[in-house]
A and B are shown apart, each in its own frame.
Chain A
Amino acid sequence: MRPFDYRRAGDVDEAIALMGTSPTARYLGGGTNLVDHMRLGLETPDLLVDVSRLPLADIEDLPDGGLRIGAAVRNSDLAADRRVRERYPALSRALLAGASGQLRNLATTGGNLLQRTRCPYFQDVTTPCNKREPGSGCSAIEGHSRNHAILGASDACVAVHPSDMAVGLLALDAVVRVHGPGGERTITIDDLHRLPGEHPERDTVLEPGELITAVDLPPTPFARRSTYRKVRERASFAFALVSVAAAVDLHEGRIADVRIACGGIAHKPWRARRAEEMLVSEVPDEALFERAARAELDEARALRDNGFKIPLLRHTMVATLRDLTLETS
């Protein structure tokens, strides 16, 4: 590992100022992804700015009835928070489906959003990878692609975003609060992560030096009827093959409103807007869910090894919607 300097920031402004002193500096949260990447040689920062002890570890009620989650809140604390469990169960479920107890105790909200793909070629510095080394090529497109994208991929990159939490947040319409050299701004969770296009090296729209300080959840009352369903190779401590987070507003036997987000299938958490549009104002029914899922997957494209994800995601979407509507209405 390359030598690096370490500074613990006292407040957000100091963190941003420290970050501005070096083009290769990185913010350090829980470290569960970054430390591994430094060990693997993927990341070679000359300065780590530790933001894990900034006063951003609270979960606060917002005046409008929503919640503000500090960027340094641990994944374990967020999953266990009584308000999240009652008002935003999809988020609690998504967090609990990720990593292990030990890692959730270290990992932070901001860091979870900014974790990078587990594409094995990205993590292996001896293989070409456009995300790690722009212009070097993609080893996965014609390589082992079982875990790769079926929607939104490009000729440059077929990696998937690994976060469960981000999929839960996407179905809850979360808003990310960011501080940077130019001040504060907000980004919807759907806009935070990018599709790869010609620039797979950029996972997000964050500018250099910008720091996630909080994630806001709007006061969506029907988020109480939300959940997260994850399908993986083993029962625990594995990344998603596919996953679905959904929230449904049922009114007089019809779907008044619905949010669906999918994980494990694209370079970013995937909002299933086409499926959502087909479901609104309809009477919940398994055949309807099937049609909506098929429509969402209309443009799905399989690589050599991941064709199974298309029916798997369809079934998972149907099952998730069924759980939220038919068995509880």
Chain B
Amino acid sequence: MEADITLVVDGERRSLTVDTRTSLLDALRDHLGVTSPKKGCDHGQCGACTVLLDGRRATTCLTFAVAQDGAEVITAVGLVTDGELHPVQEAFCENDAFQCGFCTPGQVCSVVGMLDELRAGHPSHVTADLTAEIGTDPAIEDDEIRERMSGNLCRCGAYGNILAAVRQVTSS
């Protein structure tokens, strides 16, 4: 079964016809040629396909494109404005926060979404006091960053430098 859908991808309105079985990830990569989100596990476990979906970080492998008709998608490529890298992207470069780079677009989108959650005051599993104001302390602890980024795996094991990159963004 096919469906006509519209997605706003990295600021551009795109109309396409998809089989209802097409995941949002496959629609982006195979139908629209937007290859920034990567297919790692295709089961929601690795985070390589993470984008900002209607402003929130989300895996694109576990949602059907047809169910996201009308949605706004921002990939790591779309975080670049007028040729300028996003501060999170700058920090990844400056801290050598990747090796092979396969997980990086998902990591970057996840960090951007995670920082928005922090600014919105969302607690995490390691937050000691649920009733405290979250996100007012710019230098969040490493445990908080690790916990909040646990949905993104890096098989090269670049975690130490990813942590440093996030810390650079949160403390600047």
Contacts and interface: CB of A to CB of B under 8 A. Distances in A.
B41 to A, nearest CB: 10
B117 A6 contact: no
Nearest to B134: A80
A35 B23 contact: yes
Interface in B42-97: 42-45, 47, 50, 53, 56-59, 61-64, 66-67, 69
A4 B22 CA distance: 11
Identify whether the interface residues of B are mostly helix, strand, loop, or mixed. loop
A36 B110 contact: no
B63 A105 contact: no
Interface in B10-45: 19-21, 23, 42-45
B123 A80 contact: yes
Given A76-B122, A79-B122, A6 B3 contact: yes
Q: How large is the interface on A (under 10, 10 to 19, 20 to 34, 35 or more residues)?
A: 35 or more
B6 to A, nearest CB: 14
A137 to B, nearest CB: 26
Contacts of A108: none
Interface string A25-39: 000101110011011
A5 interface: yes
A32 B1 contact: no
Contact of A96 (B50, B69, B123, B152): B123
A3 B21 contact: yes
A259 interface: no
A271 B137 CA distance: 39
B168 interface: no
Contacts of A320: none
B58 A105 contact: yes
A50 B45 CA distance: 23
A93 interface: yes
A102 B50 contact: yes
Interface residues of B, number: 44
B114 interface: yes
B21 to A, nearest CB: 5
B44 A32 contact: yes
A322 interface: no
Contacts of B146: 235-236
Given A3-B21, A5-B1, A103 B59 contact: yes
Contacts of B53: 105
A49 to B, nearest CB: 11
A292 interface: no
A89 B130 contact: yes
B122 A4 contact: no
Nearest to A98: B125
Interface in A8-55: 8, 28, 30-32, 35-36, 38-39, 48, 50, 52
A143 interface: no
Contact of A100 (B3, B21, B47): B47
Contact of A102 (B19, B57, B120): B57
Contacts of A39: 42-43
Contacts of A99: 151
B110 A101 contact: yes
B113 interface: yes
Contacts of A36: 43-44, 62
B147 interface: yes
Nearest to A31: B63
B67 A102 contact: no
B123 A101 contact: no
Nearest to A104: B151
Interface in A177-221: none
B20 A35 contact: no
Contacts of A235: 146-147, 150
Contacts of A52: 67
Contact of A106 (B63, B147, B150): B63
A86 interface: yes
A166 to B, nearest CB: 17
Interface in A70-126: 76, 79-80, 85-86, 89, 92-93, 96-97, 99-103, 105-106
10 contacts: A31-B67, A50-B67, A92-B130, A102-B110, A103-B62, A105-B57, A105-B113, A106-B62, A235-B147, A237-B151
Given A32-B44, A92-B123, A101-B117, 7 more contacts: A6-B1, A31-B64, A80-B121, A100-B47, A101-B57, A103-B151, A235-B150
Interface of B: 1, 3, 19-21, 23, 42-45, 47, 50, 53, 56-59, 61-64, 66-67, 69, 110, 113-114, 117, 120-125, 127, 130-131, 146-152
Name the 7 nearest CB pairs between A and B, nearest first.
Answer: A100-B151, A236-B150, A80-B122, A237-B150, A85-B130, A96-B125, A105-B56
